[in-house]
Chain A
């Protein structure tokens, strides 16, 4: 059974206007998405800015009010606050935030920041609590002298590791990582990502890894979902997504990964332009009349794509033939 199952999740924000400030329209930030996260895996959620990735992540930790749909954890729908409280849900599901500075209270010392979930969920004695905080700092590679300092005294990478330590503190089963490294430079990104992988190996944590950086996602995730305008356009394993993309949006995202091979520059540019031309010419084929993605259709046990059934199978056939030739 999956660790957590998201079923037809919708988060719509109301738009108010007019003299009476009535609800006149809605922004469908997340518009009916379903996927499941297995225990111990890293699930990637990818998409452009404003595609609803973060809203999905916040719904999973219970920070966002869900319009409809359900998120099942241990057979309970945790979109209801009462269920979250009864299960002590946030002890098992924690979050790592994108902006490491604003996610740490600037007026609290590191000890109090990391101990906050411990104080609420596990009532340890003072010594045990301090010992646990010191162990957590050790696990994320910070010295004990960080204990009584304030967040602004640390570098971005160190702060993000403090955020990781806080998320790991209660030994959760799932951590929602909302673009955890997008604000860091490349060397520090690798450092933080390796820490996250190390912690996953040691504690058997699952991640819901939200990112727009496909390189990072390839490094981290076994299963990936591509999100576009509040809907999922493609779900698959790492191999499905990177080597056999079917939806034009996935192809565009992949084409946007920068290539550093100078000798191949012209070829790479040509392939990018080809993808873009297909997108411009055949947009109507890939999206419905409202410009939204179609419902998902399975083309293999692991791989689903949001296209009309006939087109999906046709594209999958072409992909198989292309691979056979190559």
Chain B
């Protein structure tokens, strides 16, 4: 068998090292390289990347040095301190608690929940979209009925009910409760693209090459819809920050003694706070706006990197 090929080709084992060296010098840059070039070409996105990475690192590290129970103790002497007084950088709220410290711990909680929720719900949603889209037929029918049933449930109400009947819930249980419901949009989006993608000839070629179905789904089709997956994941990360924030704002998110961006924005429920004590809610609101804007900038860059015709970075 191998002799057969040796007969008809001048290439022999001796040339292997030299030829693969030649090929390496002509190789197309890796995906990571392309994304990095794309960031370098787009200054606002670069700024957004620095903001996001820097902020998340700062919040994760700084919150390690903050004693949360002590921080959440009421201190009547600091009642609605203005920013800058009594050594409080962003002032204090109605309980005399430091807004700056609450912002750091609250951001860590909110971003942690959003990251966890995005990881779980996107992974599940992608699988629940790829598998029915590829197999179609009975598997598709069955999985879509499950999807329809989940869509039918009123999401917000179910979460509120679950939160009230679970006695001791914390950030982790809250993330899991959210994850039950937030995979649906992703799954339908991925399924529709997979339906189109699995009709293409390269899937047929992989089948005739003897590749197994699971390998075709996750190694052939998934990389080809990666731009869709990345955009959907970044955008749902931004959205998921809002999910936790929104429910905490309504009083059904994290327990009140746990600070989060949502509980801080809930300070704006009081008209007095809105007009006079703006420092209790404005920093959290601004932070959410900046985070979500930055994430969507980054998502755009990654989408452009995935599509050769939209690239602005260095040409290869």
Contact = CB atoms under 8 A, between A and B. Distances in A.
Pairing of A with B: yes
Interface in A140-175: 144-150, 152-153, 163, 166, 171
A62 B19 CA distance: 36
Interface in A67-116: 88, 90-91, 93-95, 97-99, 102-109, 116
A166 B205 contact: yes
A256 interface: no
B23 A144 contact: yes
B209 A116 contact: yes
Which of B2, B13, B206, B209 has the most chain A CB within a 10 Å cutoff? B209
A197 interface: no
A116 B22 contact: no
Contacts of B226: 107
A221 interface: no
B208 A94 contact: yes
B209 A117 contact: yes
A135 B16 CA distance: 10
Contacts of B9: 134-136, 138-139
Interface string A44-65: 0000000000000010011100
A191 interface: no
B251 interface: no
Contact of A97 (B10, B24, B25, B204): B204
Nearest to A145: B26
B200 interface: yes
Contacts of A102: 200-202
Contacts of B10: 138
B11 A135 contact: yes
A103 B27 contact: no
A98 B16 CA distance: 32
A150 B308 CA distance: 11
Chain B interface, DSSP helix/strand/loop, else mixed: helix
A95 B205 CA distance: 7
Contacts of A153: 28
B87 interface: no
B8 interface: yes
Contacts of B24: 148
Interface string B5-49: 111111111011001101111111000000000000000000000
Contacts, number: 124
Nearest to B221: A105
Report, as a range, how many residues of chain B touch the other chain.
35 or more
B16 A132 contact: no
A266 B200 CA distance: 45
A303 to B, nearest CB: 33
B310 interface: no
B195 to A, nearest CB: 16
A95 B204 CA distance: 9
Contact of B210 (A104, A120, A152): A120
Interface in A246-295: none
B257 interface: no
B210 A128 contact: no
A147 B16 CA distance: 12
Which of B16, B26, B208, B308 has the most chain A CB within a 10 Å cutoff? B208
B74 interface: no
Contacts of A136: 5, 9
B22 A103 contact: no
Given A103-B202, A144-B20, A148-B27, A171 B4 contact: yes
Nearest to B14: A131
Contacts of A103: 201-202, 204-205
Nearest to B19: A144
Interface in B222-242: 223-224, 226
Interface of A: 58, 61-63, 88, 90-91, 93-95, 97-99, 102-109, 116-117, 120-122, 127-128, 130-132, 134-136, 138-139, 144-150, 152-153, 163, 166, 171, 202-203
Interface of B: 1-2, 4-13, 15-16, 19-20, 22-28, 200-202, 204-211, 220, 223-224, 226, 308
